[in-house]
Structure 1
Amino acid sequence: MHTVWKGSISFGLVNIPIKLHTATENRDIKLRQLHKECNSPINYSKVCPVCDKEIKNEEIVKAYEYSKNKFVVLDDEELENLRKENEDKAVEIVEFVKLEEIDPIYFEKSYFLSPDSGGGKAYSLLRKSLQESGKIGVAKITIRSKEQLAIVRVYKDTLLMETIHFPDEVRSSEEVPNIPSEENIVQKELDTALMLIEQLTDQFDPEKYQDDYRTALLELIEKKKSGELTVSASEKEAKIPSDMTDLMSALQASLDKTRKMPTTRKRKEPIKKKA
Protein backbone atom coordinates (compact mmCIF):
# COMPACT_ATOMS: atom_id res chain seq x y z
CA MET A 1 0.00 0.00 0.00
CA HIS A 2 1.43 3.37 -1.07
CA THR A 3 2.65 5.70 1.70
CA VAL A 4 1.37 9.26 1.26
CA TRP A 5 2.85 10.80 4.44
CA LYS A 6 5.37 9.91 7.14
CA GLY A 7 5.61 11.47 10.57
CA SER A 8 4.44 10.81 14.09
CA ILE A 9 1.31 10.89 16.20
CA SER A 10 1.37 11.80 19.88
CA PHE A 11 -0.97 11.84 22.85
CA GLY A 12 0.46 13.18 26.07
CA LEU A 13 4.10 12.09 26.20
CA VAL A 14 3.53 9.03 24.01
CA ASN A 15 4.99 9.46 20.52
CA ILE A 16 4.31 6.97 17.70
CA PRO A 17 6.19 7.04 14.37
CA ILE A 18 3.60 6.34 11.67
CA LYS A 19 2.92 6.11 7.95
CA LEU A 20 -0.26 7.34 6.29
CA HIS A 21 -2.04 5.32 3.58
CA THR A 22 -5.14 6.39 1.64
CA ALA A 23 -8.02 4.23 2.87
CA THR A 24 -10.46 4.82 0.01
CA GLU A 25 -10.20 5.16 -3.76
CA ASN A 26 -12.30 6.70 -6.50
CA ARG A 27 -13.48 3.91 -8.79
CA ASP A 28 -15.16 6.18 -11.34
CA ILE A 29 -14.51 5.19 -14.96
CA LYS A 30 -12.67 8.05 -16.65
CA LEU A 31 -13.64 8.66 -20.27
CA ARG A 32 -11.30 10.47 -22.66
CA GLN A 33 -12.48 13.11 -25.11
CA LEU A 34 -11.57 12.49 -28.77
CA HIS A 35 -11.75 14.61 -31.89
CA LYS A 36 -14.73 13.12 -33.74
CA GLU A 37 -13.09 13.57 -37.15
CA CYS A 38 -9.85 11.63 -36.50
CA ASN A 39 -10.38 9.99 -33.04
CA SER A 40 -7.32 11.72 -31.56
CA PRO A 41 -7.31 12.60 -27.82
CA ILE A 42 -7.92 16.28 -27.12
CA ASN A 43 -5.13 18.20 -25.38
CA TYR A 44 -5.73 21.14 -23.09
CA SER A 45 -3.36 24.09 -23.13
CA LYS A 46 -2.81 26.94 -20.68
CA VAL A 47 -3.52 30.01 -22.78
CA CYS A 48 -3.41 33.67 -21.78
CA PRO A 49 -6.57 35.31 -23.23
CA VAL A 50 -4.91 38.75 -23.40
CA CYS A 51 -1.58 37.75 -24.96
CA ASP A 52 -3.36 35.06 -27.02
CA LYS A 53 -0.55 32.56 -26.62
CA GLU A 54 0.19 29.33 -24.78
CA ILE A 55 1.91 29.86 -21.42
CA LYS A 56 4.75 27.72 -20.04
CA ASN A 57 4.79 26.62 -16.39
CA GLU A 58 7.74 28.88 -15.56
CA GLU A 59 5.69 31.88 -16.71
CA ILE A 60 2.87 31.21 -14.23
CA VAL A 61 2.63 32.74 -10.74
CA LYS A 62 0.14 32.03 -7.93
CA ALA A 63 -2.24 34.74 -6.72
CA TYR A 64 -5.31 35.28 -4.53
CA GLU A 65 -8.28 37.06 -6.11
CA TYR A 66 -9.64 39.28 -3.33
CA SER A 67 -12.15 41.01 -5.64
CA LYS A 68 -13.09 40.84 -9.31
CA ASN A 69 -9.82 40.92 -11.32
CA LYS A 70 -7.88 42.20 -8.29
CA PHE A 71 -5.08 39.90 -7.13
CA VAL A 72 -2.41 39.55 -4.47
CA VAL A 73 0.57 37.72 -6.00
CA LEU A 74 2.38 35.19 -3.78
CA ASP A 75 5.77 33.87 -4.84
CA ASP A 76 6.92 30.29 -4.37
CA GLU A 77 9.46 31.18 -1.67
CA GLU A 78 6.83 32.85 0.51
CA LEU A 79 4.50 29.87 0.19
CA GLU A 80 7.32 27.39 0.88
CA ASN A 81 8.36 29.27 4.05
CA LEU A 82 4.77 29.24 5.28
CA ARG A 83 4.48 25.53 4.55
CA LYS A 84 7.69 24.72 6.47
CA GLU A 85 6.53 26.73 9.49
CA ASN A 86 3.29 24.76 9.75
CA GLU A 87 4.29 21.30 8.54
CA ASP A 88 6.23 19.72 11.37
CA LYS A 89 5.27 16.17 10.37
CA ALA A 90 3.50 15.55 13.66
CA VAL A 91 -0.10 14.71 14.53
CA GLU A 92 -0.93 15.84 18.04
CA ILE A 93 -4.10 14.50 19.64
CA VAL A 94 -5.41 17.46 21.61
CA GLU A 95 -8.51 15.87 23.15
CA PHE A 96 -10.73 12.78 23.19
CA VAL A 97 -14.46 12.77 22.40
CA LYS A 98 -17.23 10.32 21.51
CA LEU A 99 -17.67 9.58 17.80
CA GLU A 100 -21.43 10.20 17.91
CA GLU A 101 -20.78 13.80 18.97
CA ILE A 102 -19.46 14.61 15.46
CA ASP A 103 -22.01 14.96 12.66
CA PRO A 104 -21.01 13.04 9.48
CA ILE A 105 -21.18 16.28 7.46
CA TYR A 106 -17.74 17.11 8.90
CA PHE A 107 -16.02 13.97 7.59
CA GLU A 108 -13.82 14.38 4.52
CA LYS A 109 -11.21 11.70 3.73
CA SER A 110 -9.97 8.53 5.43
CA TYR A 111 -6.40 7.29 5.90
CA PHE A 112 -5.04 4.10 7.44
CA LEU A 113 -2.28 4.59 9.98
CA SER A 114 0.49 2.01 10.20
CA PRO A 115 3.38 2.05 12.70
CA ASP A 116 6.79 3.00 11.35
CA SER A 117 10.02 1.45 12.60
CA GLY A 118 9.97 1.01 16.37
CA GLY A 119 6.39 2.23 16.78
CA GLY A 120 4.57 -1.08 17.12
CA LYS A 121 4.13 -1.14 20.91
CA ALA A 122 2.99 2.48 21.23
CA TYR A 123 0.64 1.93 18.27
CA SER A 124 -0.92 -1.06 20.05
CA LEU A 125 -1.23 0.97 23.26
CA LEU A 126 -3.18 3.76 21.55
CA ARG A 127 -5.40 1.27 19.72
CA LYS A 128 -6.23 -0.63 22.92
CA SER A 129 -6.83 2.61 24.85
CA LEU A 130 -9.31 3.87 22.27
CA GLN A 131 -11.11 0.51 22.21
CA GLU A 132 -11.40 0.32 26.00
CA SER A 133 -12.49 3.94 26.44
CA GLY A 134 -14.91 4.03 23.50
CA LYS A 135 -13.45 7.41 22.56
CA ILE A 136 -11.78 8.92 19.48
CA GLY A 137 -8.89 11.39 19.35
CA VAL A 138 -9.19 14.89 17.86
CA ALA A 139 -5.97 16.10 16.23
CA LYS A 140 -4.42 18.55 13.77
CA ILE A 141 -2.23 17.62 10.80
CA THR A 142 -0.79 19.44 7.77
CA ILE A 143 -1.04 17.51 4.49
CA ARG A 144 0.11 19.00 1.17
CA SER A 145 0.40 22.50 2.63
CA LYS A 146 -3.14 22.44 4.05
CA GLU A 147 -3.76 22.32 7.76
CA GLN A 148 -6.48 19.79 8.58
CA LEU A 149 -8.58 18.94 11.56
CA ALA A 150 -8.73 15.16 12.02
CA ILE A 151 -10.00 12.38 14.22
CA VAL A 152 -8.19 9.14 15.07
CA ARG A 153 -10.27 6.03 15.75
CA VAL A 154 -10.09 2.25 15.58
CA TYR A 155 -11.31 0.52 12.42
CA LYS A 156 -11.22 -3.26 12.81
CA ASP A 157 -7.58 -3.85 13.92
CA THR A 158 -6.21 -0.65 12.40
CA LEU A 159 -5.93 2.95 13.53
CA LEU A 160 -7.82 5.15 11.09
CA MET A 161 -7.41 8.89 10.68
CA GLU A 162 -10.23 10.86 9.10
CA THR A 163 -9.72 14.47 8.11
CA ILE A 164 -12.71 16.62 9.00
CA HIS A 165 -13.80 20.07 7.94
CA PHE A 166 -13.29 23.14 10.11
CA PRO A 167 -16.61 24.70 11.23
CA ASP A 168 -16.30 27.64 8.82
CA GLU A 169 -15.97 25.20 5.91
CA VAL A 170 -19.45 23.75 6.53
CA ARG A 171 -22.17 25.93 5.06
CA SER A 172 -25.12 26.95 7.20
CA SER A 173 -28.28 24.92 6.65
CA GLU A 174 -30.23 28.16 7.11
CA GLU A 175 -28.95 29.27 3.69
CA VAL A 176 -30.65 26.35 1.91
CA PRO A 177 -33.59 27.76 -0.11
CA ASN A 178 -37.22 26.58 -0.17
CA ILE A 179 -37.11 24.48 3.01
CA PRO A 180 -40.77 24.00 4.08
CA SER A 181 -41.81 24.91 7.61
CA GLU A 182 -43.50 22.24 9.71
CA GLU A 183 -46.84 21.42 8.14
CA ASN A 184 -49.87 19.61 9.43
CA ILE A 185 -49.23 15.91 8.90
CA VAL A 186 -52.18 13.54 9.06
CA GLN A 187 -51.53 10.86 11.66
CA LYS A 188 -52.53 8.09 9.23
CA GLU A 189 -49.89 9.27 6.74
CA LEU A 190 -47.25 9.33 9.46
CA ASP A 191 -48.20 5.86 10.70
CA THR A 192 -47.95 4.47 7.14
CA ALA A 193 -44.54 6.08 6.62
CA LEU A 194 -43.28 4.67 9.92
CA MET A 195 -44.57 1.22 8.96
CA LEU A 196 -42.72 1.41 5.63
CA ILE A 197 -39.50 2.41 7.40
CA GLU A 198 -39.89 -0.52 9.77
CA GLN A 199 -40.38 -2.97 6.90
CA LEU A 200 -37.26 -1.69 5.11
CA THR A 201 -35.10 -1.64 8.24
CA ASP A 202 -32.13 -4.04 8.22
CA GLN A 203 -28.59 -4.27 9.53
CA PHE A 204 -26.21 -2.30 7.35
CA ASP A 205 -24.05 -4.51 5.15
CA PRO A 206 -21.95 -2.55 2.60
CA GLU A 207 -21.33 -5.74 0.59
CA LYS A 208 -24.97 -5.69 -0.53
CA TYR A 209 -24.45 -2.54 -2.55
CA GLN A 210 -22.65 -1.84 -5.81
CA ASP A 211 -22.32 0.94 -8.35
CA ASP A 212 -24.86 -0.24 -10.96
CA TYR A 213 -23.93 2.48 -13.46
CA ARG A 214 -20.21 1.65 -13.32
CA THR A 215 -20.95 -2.06 -13.71
CA ALA A 216 -23.19 -1.43 -16.74
CA LEU A 217 -20.63 0.92 -18.30
CA LEU A 218 -17.83 -1.64 -17.92
CA GLU A 219 -20.05 -4.31 -19.51
CA LEU A 220 -20.78 -1.98 -22.44
CA ILE A 221 -17.05 -1.23 -22.90
CA GLU A 222 -16.16 -4.94 -22.85
CA LYS A 223 -18.96 -5.72 -25.32
CA LYS A 224 -17.66 -3.10 -27.75
CA LYS A 225 -14.07 -4.36 -27.31
CA SER A 226 -15.01 -7.99 -28.00
CA GLY A 227 -17.06 -6.94 -31.02
CA GLU A 228 -14.08 -4.92 -32.28
CA LEU A 229 -16.19 -1.75 -32.26
CA THR A 230 -13.11 0.29 -31.47
CA VAL A 231 -11.33 3.24 -33.04
CA SER A 232 -7.68 4.22 -33.23
CA ALA A 233 -6.20 7.67 -33.09
CA SER A 234 -4.88 8.98 -36.39
CA GLU A 235 -1.15 9.44 -36.75
CA LYS A 236 -0.08 13.05 -36.80
CA GLU A 237 1.12 14.02 -40.25
CA ALA A 238 4.47 15.74 -40.49
CA LYS A 239 3.88 19.36 -41.38
CA ILE A 240 6.20 20.65 -44.08
CA PRO A 241 7.30 24.23 -43.45
CA SER A 242 6.09 26.73 -46.05
CA ASP A 243 9.60 27.71 -47.04
CA MET A 244 10.40 24.04 -47.59
CA THR A 245 7.24 23.74 -49.72
CA ASP A 246 8.32 26.70 -51.82
CA LEU A 247 11.78 25.22 -52.23
CA MET A 248 10.36 21.85 -53.27
CA SER A 249 8.09 23.57 -55.81
CA ALA A 250 11.02 25.45 -57.25
CA LEU A 251 13.12 22.30 -57.46
CA GLN A 252 10.31 20.35 -59.09
CA ALA A 253 9.69 23.12 -61.62
CA SER A 254 13.36 23.20 -62.44
CA LEU A 255 13.41 19.44 -62.87
CA ASP A 256 10.36 19.54 -65.16
CA LYS A 257 11.96 22.26 -67.23
CA THR A 258 15.15 20.30 -67.76
CA ARG A 259 13.16 17.28 -68.88
CA LYS A 260 11.62 19.29 -71.72
CA MET A 261 15.02 20.37 -72.98
CA PRO A 262 16.77 18.22 -75.70
CA THR A 263 19.10 15.68 -74.13
CA THR A 264 21.60 15.80 -77.13
CA ARG A 265 22.96 18.55 -79.26
CA LYS A 266 23.92 18.35 -82.95
CA ARG A 267 27.69 18.18 -83.24
CA LYS A 268 29.17 20.88 -85.29
CA GLU A 269 31.35 19.67 -88.14
CA PRO A 270 34.92 20.90 -87.87
CA ILE A 271 35.76 23.68 -90.30
CA LYS A 272 38.01 22.43 -93.02
CA LYS A 273 40.93 24.57 -94.02
CA LYS A 274 41.27 25.40 -97.72
CA ALA A 275 44.25 23.98 -99.46
Structure 2
Amino acid sequence: MHTIWKGSINFGLVNIPIKLHAATEDKGIKLRNLHHKCHTPIKYEKVCPQCEEEISNEDMIKGYEYISGKYVILSGDELEPLKDDQRDKVIDVLDFVQLDEIDPIYYDKTYFMSANEGGAKSYSLFREAIKESNKIAIAKVMIRTKENLAVLRVYNDVLIMETLHYPDEVRGTEEVLSPQDVKVTDKEKKAANMLIEQLTTTFEPTNYVDRYRLQLEELIQTKLQKEKDITAPTTGKDITDLMSALQQSIDEAKESKKKETTKRKRTKKASSS
Protein backbone atom coordinates (compact mmCIF):
# COMPACT_ATOMS: atom_id res chain seq x y z
CA MET A 1 0.00 0.00 0.00
CA HIS A 2 1.40 3.39 -1.02
CA THR A 3 2.72 5.52 1.86
CA ILE A 4 1.65 9.17 1.60
CA TRP A 5 3.07 10.49 4.90
CA LYS A 6 5.58 9.40 7.52
CA GLY A 7 5.82 10.70 11.07
CA SER A 8 4.79 9.82 14.59
CA ILE A 9 1.94 10.08 17.10
CA ASN A 10 2.78 12.03 20.25
CA PHE A 11 0.76 10.43 23.07
CA GLY A 12 1.98 12.05 26.28
CA LEU A 13 5.63 11.00 26.51
CA VAL A 14 5.04 8.06 24.16
CA ASN A 15 6.23 8.48 20.55
CA ILE A 16 4.71 6.10 18.00
CA PRO A 17 6.39 5.96 14.55
CA ILE A 18 3.66 5.53 11.92
CA LYS A 19 2.94 5.72 8.19
CA LEU A 20 -0.27 7.01 6.61
CA HIS A 21 -2.01 5.31 3.69
CA ALA A 22 -5.14 6.44 1.84
CA ALA A 23 -8.02 4.37 3.21
CA THR A 24 -10.45 5.03 0.37
CA GLU A 25 -10.26 5.37 -3.40
CA ASP A 26 -12.44 7.03 -5.97
CA LYS A 27 -13.80 4.31 -8.25
CA GLY A 28 -15.59 6.78 -10.48
CA ILE A 29 -14.77 6.28 -14.16
CA LYS A 30 -12.87 9.27 -15.53
CA LEU A 31 -13.80 10.15 -19.09
CA ARG A 32 -11.32 12.23 -21.13
CA ASN A 33 -12.35 15.19 -23.24
CA LEU A 34 -11.38 14.47 -26.86
CA HIS A 35 -11.36 16.50 -30.03
CA HIS A 36 -14.43 15.34 -31.98
CA LYS A 37 -12.57 15.50 -35.29
CA CYS A 38 -9.54 13.29 -34.52
CA HIS A 39 -10.25 11.82 -31.04
CA THR A 40 -7.11 13.40 -29.57
CA PRO A 41 -7.19 14.24 -25.82
CA ILE A 42 -7.58 17.96 -25.18
CA LYS A 43 -4.49 19.55 -23.61
CA TYR A 44 -4.92 22.03 -20.77
CA GLU A 45 -2.08 24.52 -20.58
CA LYS A 46 -1.13 27.09 -17.93
CA VAL A 47 -1.40 30.36 -19.82
CA CYS A 48 -1.26 33.92 -18.49
CA PRO A 49 -4.29 35.67 -20.02
CA GLN A 50 -2.57 39.07 -19.68
CA CYS A 51 0.75 38.19 -21.38
CA GLU A 52 -0.75 35.40 -23.50
CA GLU A 53 2.25 33.23 -22.61
CA GLU A 54 2.42 29.62 -21.47
CA ILE A 55 4.10 29.50 -18.04
CA SER A 56 5.82 26.88 -15.88
CA ASN A 57 5.59 26.24 -12.14
CA GLU A 58 8.78 28.26 -11.66
CA ASP A 59 7.02 31.32 -13.08
CA MET A 60 4.24 31.21 -10.47
CA ILE A 61 4.05 32.89 -7.06
CA LYS A 62 1.43 32.87 -4.30
CA GLY A 63 -1.07 35.67 -3.86
CA TYR A 64 -4.24 36.37 -1.86
CA GLU A 65 -7.03 38.22 -3.70
CA TYR A 66 -8.41 40.75 -1.17
CA ILE A 67 -10.55 42.55 -3.74
CA SER A 68 -11.23 41.68 -7.37
CA GLY A 69 -7.98 41.89 -9.31
CA LYS A 70 -5.90 43.03 -6.31
CA TYR A 71 -3.50 40.64 -4.57
CA VAL A 72 -1.27 40.48 -1.52
CA ILE A 73 1.89 38.75 -2.78
CA LEU A 74 3.41 36.15 -0.43
CA SER A 75 6.89 34.79 -1.13
CA GLY A 76 8.14 31.35 -0.20
CA ASP A 77 10.55 32.92 2.32
CA GLU A 78 7.61 34.62 4.04
CA LEU A 79 5.48 31.46 4.16
CA GLU A 80 8.18 29.07 5.35
CA PRO A 81 8.49 30.42 8.94
CA LEU A 82 4.76 29.82 9.46
CA LYS A 83 5.45 26.09 9.31
CA ASP A 84 6.92 24.35 12.32
CA ASP A 85 9.38 21.71 11.03
CA GLN A 86 8.57 19.36 13.90
CA ARG A 87 4.79 19.70 13.48
CA ASP A 88 5.29 18.61 9.89
CA LYS A 89 6.10 15.12 11.11
CA VAL A 90 3.99 14.76 14.26
CA ILE A 91 0.38 13.91 15.10
CA ASP A 92 -0.23 15.61 18.45
CA VAL A 93 -2.91 13.99 20.59
CA LEU A 94 -4.86 16.74 22.39
CA ASP A 95 -7.93 15.13 23.98
CA PHE A 96 -10.07 12.01 24.19
CA VAL A 97 -13.84 12.09 23.54
CA GLN A 98 -16.75 9.77 22.78
CA LEU A 99 -17.25 8.94 19.10
CA ASP A 100 -20.95 9.89 19.11
CA GLU A 101 -20.09 13.41 20.31
CA ILE A 102 -18.87 14.33 16.80
CA ASP A 103 -21.49 14.97 14.15
CA PRO A 104 -20.64 13.27 10.81
CA ILE A 105 -20.73 16.65 9.04
CA TYR A 106 -17.26 17.34 10.47
CA TYR A 107 -15.58 14.29 8.88
CA ASP A 108 -13.41 14.79 5.80
CA LYS A 109 -10.80 12.17 4.71
CA THR A 110 -9.81 8.79 6.14
CA TYR A 111 -6.31 7.30 6.36
CA PHE A 112 -5.01 3.93 7.54
CA MET A 113 -2.11 4.11 9.97
CA SER A 114 0.54 1.40 9.98
CA ALA A 115 3.45 1.00 12.40
CA ASN A 116 6.73 2.33 11.07
CA GLU A 117 10.11 0.80 11.87
CA GLY A 118 10.55 0.40 15.62
CA GLY A 119 6.95 1.30 16.37
CA ALA A 120 5.24 -2.10 16.71
CA LYS A 121 5.10 -2.12 20.52
CA SER A 122 3.93 1.47 21.00
CA TYR A 123 1.47 1.14 18.11
CA SER A 124 -0.09 -1.95 19.72
CA LEU A 125 -0.22 -0.27 23.13
CA PHE A 126 -1.99 2.81 21.77
CA ARG A 127 -4.45 0.71 19.75
CA GLU A 128 -5.38 -1.51 22.71
CA ALA A 129 -5.71 1.47 25.06
CA ILE A 130 -8.14 3.19 22.67
CA LYS A 131 -10.16 -0.02 22.21
CA GLU A 132 -10.54 -0.56 25.95
CA SER A 133 -11.40 3.07 26.66
CA ASN A 134 -14.17 3.12 24.01
CA LYS A 135 -13.01 6.64 23.18
CA ILE A 136 -11.36 8.36 20.23
CA ALA A 137 -8.40 10.74 20.25
CA ILE A 138 -8.59 14.33 19.03
CA ALA A 139 -5.33 15.39 17.39
CA LYS A 140 -3.67 17.97 15.17
CA VAL A 141 -1.41 17.20 12.23
CA MET A 142 0.21 19.21 9.45
CA ILE A 143 -0.31 17.64 6.01
CA ARG A 144 1.27 19.55 3.15
CA THR A 145 0.33 23.19 3.85
CA LYS A 146 -2.68 22.74 6.13
CA GLU A 147 -2.88 22.11 9.86
CA ASN A 148 -5.63 19.52 10.17
CA LEU A 149 -7.86 18.65 13.07
CA ALA A 150 -8.27 14.87 13.21
CA VAL A 151 -9.55 11.91 15.19
CA LEU A 152 -7.63 8.69 15.81
CA ARG A 153 -9.63 5.51 16.33
CA VAL A 154 -9.59 1.77 15.72
CA TYR A 155 -11.20 0.13 12.67
CA ASN A 156 -10.88 -3.62 12.04
CA ASP A 157 -8.00 -3.74 14.53
CA VAL A 158 -6.11 -1.04 12.62
CA LEU A 159 -5.50 2.54 13.77
CA ILE A 160 -7.06 5.06 11.43
CA MET A 161 -6.95 8.83 11.23
CA GLU A 162 -9.88 10.85 9.98
CA THR A 163 -9.36 14.54 9.30
CA LEU A 164 -12.09 16.90 10.45
CA HIS A 165 -13.40 20.22 9.23
CA TYR A 166 -12.87 23.07 11.66
CA PRO A 167 -16.11 24.61 13.02
CA ASP A 168 -15.65 27.75 10.89
CA GLU A 169 -15.40 25.53 7.78
CA VAL A 170 -18.89 24.11 8.34
CA ARG A 171 -21.47 26.47 6.92
CA GLY A 172 -24.39 27.66 9.01
CA THR A 173 -27.92 26.50 8.30
CA GLU A 174 -29.56 29.92 8.58
CA GLU A 175 -30.01 30.29 4.80
CA VAL A 176 -31.25 26.74 4.27
CA LEU A 177 -34.99 26.57 3.64
CA SER A 178 -36.35 24.24 6.32
CA PRO A 179 -40.06 24.87 7.00
CA GLN A 180 -40.82 25.20 10.71
CA ASP A 181 -44.41 26.42 10.78
CA VAL A 182 -46.01 23.60 8.77
CA LYS A 183 -48.36 21.49 10.89
CA VAL A 184 -47.99 17.72 10.73
CA THR A 185 -50.77 15.55 12.13
CA ASP A 186 -50.23 12.67 14.54
CA LYS A 187 -51.67 10.30 11.93
CA GLU A 188 -49.10 11.44 9.35
CA LYS A 189 -46.22 11.10 11.82
CA LYS A 190 -47.42 7.62 12.81
CA ALA A 191 -47.51 6.53 9.15
CA ALA A 192 -44.02 7.96 8.55
CA ASN A 193 -42.66 6.17 11.63
CA MET A 194 -44.23 2.90 10.47
CA LEU A 195 -42.49 3.28 7.09
CA ILE A 196 -39.16 3.96 8.83
CA GLU A 197 -39.66 0.85 10.94
CA GLN A 198 -40.39 -1.24 7.84
CA LEU A 199 -37.16 -0.01 6.17
CA THR A 200 -34.97 -0.37 9.27
CA THR A 201 -32.19 -2.93 8.96
CA THR A 202 -28.59 -3.59 9.97
CA PHE A 203 -26.10 -1.53 7.98
CA GLU A 204 -24.25 -3.77 5.53
CA PRO A 205 -22.00 -1.71 3.19
CA THR A 206 -21.83 -4.43 0.52
CA ASN A 207 -25.58 -4.06 -0.05
CA TYR A 208 -25.00 -0.72 -1.75
CA VAL A 209 -23.37 -0.35 -5.16
CA ASP A 210 -22.72 2.44 -7.62
CA ARG A 211 -25.18 1.41 -10.33
CA TYR A 212 -24.20 4.23 -12.69
CA ARG A 213 -20.51 3.21 -12.58
CA LEU A 214 -21.35 -0.46 -13.18
CA GLN A 215 -23.59 0.39 -16.13
CA LEU A 216 -20.93 2.71 -17.55
CA GLU A 217 -18.29 -0.03 -17.21
CA GLU A 218 -20.61 -2.47 -19.02
CA LEU A 219 -21.22 0.06 -21.81
CA ILE A 220 -17.49 0.65 -22.24
CA GLN A 221 -16.72 -3.10 -22.32
CA THR A 222 -19.50 -3.71 -24.87
CA LYS A 223 -18.20 -0.97 -27.18
CA LEU A 224 -14.62 -2.15 -26.66
CA GLN A 225 -15.57 -5.68 -27.66
CA LYS A 226 -17.28 -4.37 -30.80
CA GLU A 227 -14.11 -2.45 -31.68
CA LYS A 228 -12.08 -5.65 -31.29
CA ASP A 229 -14.55 -7.59 -33.44
CA ILE A 230 -14.32 -4.98 -36.19
CA THR A 231 -10.52 -4.83 -36.25
CA ALA A 232 -9.82 -8.54 -35.76
CA PRO A 233 -9.04 -10.57 -38.93
CA THR A 234 -11.94 -12.78 -39.98
CA THR A 235 -10.65 -16.08 -41.34
CA GLY A 236 -13.71 -18.15 -40.53
CA LYS A 237 -11.50 -20.54 -38.52
CA ASP A 238 -10.06 -20.49 -35.01
CA ILE A 239 -6.43 -19.41 -34.98
CA THR A 240 -4.78 -20.04 -31.65
CA ASP A 241 -1.22 -18.91 -32.32
CA LEU A 242 1.08 -17.36 -34.90
CA MET A 243 2.44 -20.67 -36.25
CA SER A 244 -1.00 -22.10 -36.90
CA ALA A 245 -2.00 -18.84 -38.60
CA LEU A 246 1.05 -19.01 -40.86
CA GLN A 247 0.49 -22.69 -41.65
CA GLN A 248 -3.17 -22.04 -42.40
CA SER A 249 -2.19 -19.21 -44.76
CA ILE A 250 0.30 -21.49 -46.57
CA ASP A 251 -2.28 -24.28 -46.92
CA GLU A 252 -4.91 -21.90 -48.21
CA ALA A 253 -2.43 -20.40 -50.69
CA LYS A 254 -1.52 -23.89 -51.95
CA GLU A 255 -5.19 -24.80 -52.29
CA SER A 256 -5.91 -21.58 -54.15
CA LYS A 257 -2.93 -22.13 -56.48
CA LYS A 258 -3.99 -25.72 -57.12
CA LYS A 259 -7.51 -24.62 -58.08
CA GLU A 260 -6.11 -21.89 -60.33
CA THR A 261 -3.81 -24.39 -62.11
CA THR A 262 -6.70 -26.84 -62.63
CA LYS A 263 -8.88 -24.04 -63.99
CA ARG A 264 -6.19 -22.99 -66.49
CA LYS A 265 -5.72 -26.56 -67.72
CA ARG A 266 -9.45 -26.92 -68.29
CA THR A 267 -9.60 -23.58 -70.11
CA LYS A 268 -6.63 -24.51 -72.32
CA LYS A 269 -8.09 -27.93 -73.10
CA ALA A 270 -11.46 -26.41 -74.00
CA SER A 271 -9.90 -23.86 -76.32
CA SER A 272 -7.72 -26.43 -78.18
CA SER A 273 -10.68 -28.68 -78.84
TM-score of the pair, normalised by structure 2:
0.80
Q: Structure 1 unaligned segments of length 5 or more: list them.
A: 231-275
Task: Quote the Cα distance in structure 2 between the aligned partners of 1:129 and 1:185.
Answer: 47
Q: Which residue number in structure 1 is paired with residue 12 of structure 2?
A: 12
- Deviation string, structure 1 residues 203-234 (Cα, Å, up to 9, x no partner): 0000111100000000000000000189xxxx
Paired AA for residue 91 in structure 1: I
Task: Quote the Cα distance in structure 2 between the aligned partners of 1:85 and 1:123.
Answer: 23
- Deviation string, structure 1 residues 77-123 (Cα, Å, up to 9, x no partner): 32334335574311111110000000000000001111111111111
Q: Which residue number in structure 2 is paired with residue 179 of structure 1?
A: 178
**Secondary structure, counterpart of 1:225 in structure 2:** helix
Q: Which residue number in structure 1 is paired with residue 236 of structure 2?
A: none
Task: Quote the Cα distance in structure 1 between the aligned partners of 2:48 and 2:108.
Answer: 34
Structure 1 residue 23 and structure 2 residue 23: aligned?
yes
Q: Which residue number in structure 2 is paired with residue 197 of structure 1?
A: 196
Decide whether the 8 Å contact of 2:88 with 2:143 is kept in 1: no
- With 94-103 and 185-194 compared, the bigger mean Cα shift is at 185-194
**Secondary structure, counterpart of 1:224 in structure 2:** helix
Percent identity among equivalent residues? 55
Return the offset for 1:193: 0.7
Q: Which residue number in structure 2 is paired with residue 38 of structure 1?
A: 38
Task: Quote the Cα distance in structure 2 between the aligned partners of 1:129 and 1:209.
Answer: 33
Q: Which residue number in structure 2 is paired with residue 246 of structure 1?
A: none
Task: Quote the Cα distance in structure 2 between the aligned partners of 1:45 and 1:6.
Answer: 33
Task: Quote the Cα distance in structure 2 between the aligned partners of 1:182 and 1:92.
Answer: 46
Decide whether the 8 Å contact of 1:63 with 1:71 is kept in 2: yes
- Deviation string, structure 1 residues 230-254 (Cα, Å, up to 9, x no partner): 9xxxxxxxxxxxxxxxxxxxxxxxx
Q: Which residue number in structure 1 is paired with residue 70 of structure 2?
A: 70
Q: CA RMSD in A?
A: 1.7
Task: Quote the Cα distance in structure 2 between the aligned partners of 1:19 and 1:57.
Answer: 29
Q: Which residue number in structure 1 is paired with residue 209 of structure 2?
A: 210
Q: Map 1:72-151; keep pairs closer than 5 Å.
A: 72-85=72-85, 87-151=87-151
Structure 1 residue 223 and structure 2 residue 256: aligned?
no
Structure with greater Cα Rg: 1
Q: Which residue number in structure 2 is paired with residue 56 of structure 1?
A: 56
Paired AA for residue 208 in structure 1: N
Paired AA for residue 45 in structure 1: E
Task: Quote the Cα distance in structure 2 between the aligned partners of 1:222 and 1:193.
Answer: 43
Decide whether the 8 Å contact of 1:86 with 1:142 is kept in 2: no
Return the offset for 1:188: 1.3
Q: Map 1:237-256; keep pairs closer than 5 Å.
A: none
Decide whether the 8 Å contact of 1:87 with 1:145 is kept in 2: no
Q: Structure 2 unaligned segments of length 5 or more: list them.
A: 230-273
Task: Quote the Cα distance in structure 2 between the aligned partners of 1:68 and 1:45.
Answer: 24
Structure with the larger helix share: 2
Task: Quote the Cα distance in structure 2 between the aligned partners of 1:133 and 1:58.
Answer: 50
Paired AA for residue 98 in structure 1: Q
TM-score of the pair, normalised by structure 1:
0.80
Task: Quote the Cα distance in structure 1 between the aligned partners of 2:109 and 2:159.
Answer: 14
Task: Quote the Cα distance in structure 2 between the aligned partners of 1:57 and 1:166.
Answer: 30
Paired AA for residue 183 in structure 1: V
Paired AA for residue 68 in structure 1: S
Task: Quote the Cα distance in structure 2 between the aligned partners of 1:183 and 1:229.
Answer: 60
